[in-house]
Amino acid sequence: CLESITTFIPELIGGSADLTGSNNTKSSSQKIIKASNFNGTYIHYGIREHGMCGVMNGLALDQSIIPYGGTFLIFSDYCKPSIRLAALMKQRVIYVLTHDSIGLGEDGPTHQPVEQLFSLRSIPNLNVFRPADSIETLEAWELALKSKSSPSVLALTRQDLPMVRKKESKENLTQYGGYILSDSKKSNCNLTIIATGSEVEIALEVQKKLNEKNIESKVVSMPCLELFEKQSQEYKNKILGKNSFRVTIEAGITMGWEKYTSNGISFGINSFGKSAPYKQIYKHFGLTSENIVSEITKNYK
């Protein structure tokens, strides 16, 4: 994404809090800003997340600069005061927060975010994007760049993800916050599976396994709850199903999803993570298509 974006938008000033290689926040065309040479578009902030986000707020106030900076999602707590101020001041600041779940794996619970996503979602006037594939990521970047009065978070996964958007669309579907990614074959479907980011892949696997059991369902990708909440009630009912049995899947705390599940089930993590290969951790916390299908068949009537 950045290779193209930084080429065509020279007013972008990027950076990272000592995690450039891990965040992938620097494009090949960007030159480093140094004490001896300010003729660049990338800043090595060092291990100072709060300082980085404070600097980005100052850059955004110039109006002619669009700042973005990267760190791990777990370290967003160090950034929180500056993120809150950016939202309060209606500044266009973009936070690239990678390694967004227990998918981080062997680094263990100190580096695995659990409560961070909904903590950020609780900040007014902040759009939190958690894209499921490269198409949603590009769409999130477009919306963040166009959002002149709101800062944006791009919560990105560490693990490789497949392309889940198979159908071509001429419009940016992420702008709606949530949309039907894979519909049911029947119009009277009463089971909706909602997922974000890396768990959208799991949701599609769940749908496939349910089909094999003759249980119809539809999968909703919800990359941005804030934008979804801005849609009409008619649109929300169309996407989620007004009286549907709803299931949510996200590798984070489930608090907050009850607004959407109602009498359904939320699959997530309500404890700290574990240190192990990420597939083992997902299995430990029940975030597998096999477990989710089992629970749905027990509870869905």
At residue 165, the pLDDT reads 94
* Residue ranges covered by each domain of the chain: 2-155, 173-299
What is the pairing mode between strands 245-249 and 152-155? unpaired
At residue 45, the pLDDT reads 95
**Angle at the Cα of 197 from the Cα atoms of 268 and 102, rounded to 5 degrees:** 50
At residue 164, the pLDDT reads 96
Select which of 49, 199, 201, 250 is catalytic. Answer: 49
Residue 145, burial from CB neighbour count under 10 angstroms (0-12, 13-18, 19+): middle
At residue 208, the pLDDT reads 97
Number of CB atoms found within 10 A of residue 228's CB: 20
Specify the CATH number of the domain 173-299. 3.40.50.920
At residue 288, the pLDDT reads 98
Q: How far apart are CA 161 and CA 70, in angstroms?
A: 20
pTM: 0.95
Sheet of 94-98, strand order = 42-44, 12-16, 66-72, 94-98, 152-155, 127-129
- Domain 2-155, what fold? Rossmann fold (3.40.50)
Which residues of the chain are modeled with pLDDT < 70?
A: none
Nearest Cα to 24, choosing from 66, 71, 58? 71
Which residues, in sequence order, are bridge partners of residue 182? Answer: 219
Contact 24, 47 (CB under 8 A): no
User: Is there a shared CATH topology between the 2-155 domain and the 173-299 domain?
Assistant: yes
Could you confirm whether 49 is annotated as catalytic? yes
At residue 167, the pLDDT reads 84
